Amino acid sequence: MKRAIFALALIFIGQSLPAEEVKDFGRDRLNSSPRHADWVDIKSGDRTIKAFVVYPESKNKTPTVLVVSEIFGLTDWVRSLCDELAENGVIAIAPDLHSGQKLEDLDAARKATSALSKEQVQADLNATSDYALTKIPACNGTLAVCGFCWGGGWAFDYATMNPNLKAAYSFYGVAVDDPAKAAKIPCPVYGFYAENDARVDATIPKAEELMKAAGKKYEPVIYKGAGHGFMREGEMPGANEANKKARDDAWARWKTLLRQLP
């Protein structure tokens, strides 16, 4: 009887604890942006996925940056970042790799993302890349990739899979650890890392070694005092100063790199 009561108490406590949530934001920027944005359908094998595209205000054709989201899926924040990329002169296209799921519950986001197969994600990124290069007339033929957290790891990994990439921007994602993969990378890889992120930062030295041995360009920068996810966290209301500065400094660097795209 006591065990039953104890078990029921644990269930009650578990139900009463709030889920760890990550609040989304960015809708205000999207609603006030002067730039044109579209939702497009992209055929990926037997599936059709959605992607969000934002165009810069430009009279000329421009490069396109493929945006790989965090584990939370294609949130308003990711879409607002696409708008910020377009503000800086490139087309941004972000595929919905999570099939429309809105994942503000952190544990649910982890589960949903871990359920995505590598083969499916690669196929969806390939389909989006092909769409950008063949179905967007305003694209000048230059394609780059960026990603954040889980997507940052994918940005680095995808650079080993797509020979058409001209640059990869990996934000606090795990780095490549396979010499055969490093040898396949066709473009410079620029890393944006947080000082307080030992798990991810531990992958940097080996990647530096492998990329150097393969004759590839890899430029990691670690932002002092910042925590994992500083691009999002540094923009949130009440963000700490280290994350704010890291975000600002990372954007300053990224804008310079974007202007170097052919």
Scanning the chain, the segments in alpha helix (DSSP H) are 2-16, 27-32, 76-87, 106-114, 118-135, 150-158, 179-184, 198-201, 204-213, 230-233, 241-259
In this model, does residue 136 exceed pLDDT 70?
yes
pLDDT tier for residue 16 given thresholds of 50, 70 and 90: very low
| Contact between 76 and 25 (Cβ < 8 Å) | yes
Cα angle 28, 29, 31; round to 5: 65
Q: Tell me the pLDDT of the chain averaged across its residues.
A: 91
| pLDDT at residue number 221 | 98
In this model, does residue 11 exceed pLDDT 60?
no
What does the pLDDT look like over 28-60, one tens digit per residue? 888 899 999 999 999 999 999 999 999 999 999
In this model, does residue 9 exceed pLDDT 90?
no
Lowest mean pLDDT among 18-27, 90-99, 176-185, 215-224: 18-27
State how far the Cα of 5 lies from the Cα of 149, in Å rounded to an integer: 42
| pLDDT at residue number 1 | 45
| pLDDT at residue number 23 | 61
> To 10 degrees, the CA torsion angle through 94, 76, 194, 143?
20
Contacts of 20 by beta carbon, 8 Å cutoff, 6+ apart: 105, 106, 107
Contacts of 240 by beta carbon, 8 Å cutoff, 6+ apart: 233
In this model, does residue 4 exceed pLDDT 60?
no
In this model, does residue 179 exceed pLDDT 70?
yes
Instruction: Over range 95-115, report the average pLDDT.
Output: 86
DSSP state at residue 38: E
Contacts of 237 by beta carbon, 8 Å cutoff, 6+ apart: 25
pLDDT tier for residue 219 given thresholds of 50, 70 and 90: very high
